[in-house]
Amino acid sequence: MTPERTAHEAIQRLSALPGDRIHVTVEPTPGPDHFSVRALGDTVHVRASGAGAAIAGYSAFVRRTGVAYVGRFGTRPVRGSLPEGIAVEGTAQLAHRIAYNICVGGYTTPFFQWPQWEAELDLLAASGVTAAHLTLGQELVWLETFTRFGYPPEEILRWIAPPSHQPWMWLNNIQSFGEGTTRELIDRRAALGRRVIQRMTDLGITPILPGFSGTVPPGFADRHEHAPTVAQGKWFMDVAGPERPDWLSTTTEAYAAVARVFYAEQRRAFGAHGMWAVDLLHEGGKVGEFDIGAAARGVQAAMLAADPEATWVMQAWAGNPRRAILEAIDLGRVLVLDLTGEAFDQLGDFAGAPRVHGILPNYGGRNGLYGDLRSMAALPGRWNAAGLTDMAEGVGNNPVVWDLFGDLTWADRPVDLDAWIRTWTTARYGAADENALSAWRTLLDTAYRSWRPETTARLSDEATRALAGSPVDAGAVDRDAAVAAVLDTSGDLAAFQVYASTDSVFAAVPSTHATGASPVGPGTLGYPEDGLVPALRAMLATPATLDTPGFVHDLVDIARQVAGDVARIALRAVAAAVEAGDVASFDVRAARFLALLDGQEAVLATNRHFLLGAWTADAAAWGSSAAESAYLVRESKRLLTSWGYEDATVLAGYANRDWSGLVGDFYRSRWTIWLAELRHLLRGEPTTPVDWYQHTETWLRAGRDYGAEPYGDPRAAAAALLATVEAVLAEGVTL
């Protein structure tokens, strides 16, 4: 497809304009990407250097003029006449604009079908993206490669993780997860992967595909002479977590032989695309007796033999890339993604390798409101980098962060954030409104500002076990040791604590001292616990004419966050009643805590983007049988809860979500059980220990259908929640 046609079709999807009202001219020229857009009569005229730049130009034009909007959870078509006399132009300030942490393939997109991917790719282009990580369907390469090396297909299918957990196999963190996968599922995912890659190519977005890092199935050295492997132990510094796959030393001819087949199968199935992701010995991997510099040279030699134009893309994260790696290879064929934007300073300039400046505003796909917008707005004109990358682990959250970071592509000076947020809300909500703007001013001063929590590490809570007589979860001791090991051995992983949103206490394992569900992350908010209440009041004061998809999403998102924040106050009130031994006060306060939870559930149910049922329905749709659908649903829910199995729950709660169904069923069931046990304790009655892992496993296998369609009125639900919030605030904590 020609660039003009590709851009024309995308703009038509985004704008809903008739085709004859869109005119696109693509003129590839040397130098940076650029666009110029204006309206003449009732036609939008776009002139750009490529298809992606043309789509980005359309997005910039409609945002600037307010006639439409392109963005996550809120794209709205053109309504009314196009404004004449306004020209919007842009020139890219950096060559590389990269999307997606590899984990996005698990935390956001594992069950996307083509319509979701098409919309997502339109958004990537509109955001100025030039390259994106993609693991979709790549497991076919493993299957074809290792069957060539003597493994029965069924053994490899058992070794490969299901889609929800597959990114961590590409990162060499897990293997043989759950029941594995099936040939039918691999083939369907590969077919979709080819379609996605073709559209990315048409849009001028380079797919960053997995290269061969040396990951091999169990027993490889036993099957092949002169193929030395190094056992990698457990994921988290060999202290806890799932077992990692063996690593075939990349210094050997055996590695080179496997790599030749791997890249040949990759090229046959998907084509060669020039950018390959390999994180050598990621997150504490072991090199054994082999020289790490030689290992790096082996990886690069195999990559260049397969693709002479290859660029090795590596993540700067958790102590990687080690300096010995960078000093051993041709840095002219390397691109280092600085995930947090700070590893460059911590690790010492990457030995001069080209660097892409990153942000990491999300872990696990959690949906807390979070992001340092003012620091982002100040970036243009002062970065020392070859590009930009948003390395959020999940992208189903915080659309304002995505949009602002994307706009930095075209900014030659710091962005005036106050002016930007006015333009953004006007375009996203369809009209300028002072109440909506007031809400966002509150958010800019609270959730979306820079902050450093006082409490940076949250290990297990002995009080939780003592109070209800129950373990936090299976493997709790391993969980604590793993977190401690990570914090002690890799200062870069302190980013987990400093640059992460706090979790809702609703998602936490019940305790009077609960501060969140994730095993790592800040335990306190960076703003007052009632700090977002004015934002919710202001959103509810807006006229109903603002109820665009973007506004409704943001109203639900803010109400959801308010409930989770104020629940911290409500839980302390419960704890105060327990401390006082006051059963009557405990009953009132426990009921109010659950009322907040129920209010959050009611708000979440009104918007499809906050439905567990939508997630599980997407998972079920990939099954080729009822049994496979049930399995994929179970593992999709596992990712959000226990993450792993009983012997490896170190990441339990890491990917928690404030989603309808998860909140109203799973989280509520845990709090209901625990509050009842706590009441027994207060009354001097026997308590029953709770095995939270088994409780989770029972829930995972229950097979309940949560529904994939929203219901209820978001404004009414948010108003009812606000009334509950105000009752909690009015009562306070002390008896």
pLDDT value at residue 502 = 84
Per DSSP, 89 falls in state E
Q: Is 73:553 a contact under the CB 8 Å cutoff?
A: yes
Express the helix, strand and coil content of the chain in percent, nearest 5 each.
50, 10, 40
Q: Is 284:244 a contact under the CB 8 Å cutoff?
A: no
Whole-angstrom distance, CA of residue 575 vs CA of residue 561? 22
pLDDT value at residue 272 = 75
Averaged pLDDT, groups of 10, the chain, 735 residues long: 97 97 95 96 96 98 97 95 93 96 98 98 98 98 98 98 97 96 98 98 97 98 96 84 95 98 97 91 90 97 96 91 94 95 78 93 94 94 89 97 97 96 98 97 95 41 36 39 41 46 91 88 89 98 95 98 97 96 96 98 98 98 98 98 90 96 98 96 93 96 94 98 97 81
Tell me the per-residue pLDDT of 595-633, one tens digit each, with 9 for 90 and over: 999 999 999 999 999 999 999 999 999 999 999 999 999
Q: Is 129:210 a contact under the CB 8 Å cutoff?
A: no
Distances (CA, A) of 145 to 152, 153, 346: 11, 10, 38
Q: What number of H helices and E strands is found in the chain? A: 28, 17
Q: Which two structure tokens, joined as six digits, stand for 39? A: 């309206």
**pTM as predicted:** 0.94
Query: Which helix (H) or strand (E) segment is 133 a member of?
Result: strand 131-133
CATH superfamily, domain 444-450+526-731, is N-acetyl-b-d-glucoasminidase (1.20.120.670)
Q: Which two structure tokens, joined as six digits, stand for 643? A: 């993450």
- Whether residue 321 is preceded by a cis peptide bond, meaning omega within 30 degrees of 0, is yes
SS3 172: coil
Q: What topology does CATH give the domain 3-91?
A: Chitobiase; domain 2 (3.30.379)
The set of residues, in sequence order, having a beta carbon less than 8 Å from that of 462 and lying 6+ positions away, is none
Distances (CA, A) of 303 to 20, 148, 254, 274, 351: 46, 19, 15, 10, 21
What kind of architecture, by CATH, is found in domain 96-415?
Answer: Alpha-Beta Barrel (3.20)
SS3 349: helix
pLDDT value at residue 712 = 98
Q: What are phi and psi of 524, to 5 degrees?
A: -130, 155
Query: Which helix (H) or strand (E) segment is 335 a member of?
Result: strand 334-338
What is the Cα 522 distance to its own chain's centre?
18
Whole-angstrom distance, CA of residue 660 vs CA of residue 639? 16
DSSP H stretches of helix in 373-433: 373-377, 399-407, 417-429
Query: Which helix (H) or strand (E) segment is 675 a member of?
Result: helix 668-682
Whole-angstrom distance, CA of residue 58 vs CA of residue 489? 47
Handedness of CA 326, 327, 328, 332 (dihedral sign): positive
b/e per residue, 284-300, with b = 16+ CB within 10 A? bbebeebebbebbbbbb
The domain segmentation of the chain, as residue ranges, is 3-91, 96-415, 444-450+526-731
* Ordered DSSP codes for 288-331: TTS-HHHHHHHHHHHHHHH-TT-EEEEEEBTTBSPHHHHTTS-G
Tell me the per-residue pLDDT of 663-681, one tens digit each, with 9 for 90 and over: 999 999 999 999 999 999 9
Whole-angstrom distance, CA of residue 621 vs CA of residue 192? 14
Helix axes 253-270, 183-203, angle to 10 degrees: 70
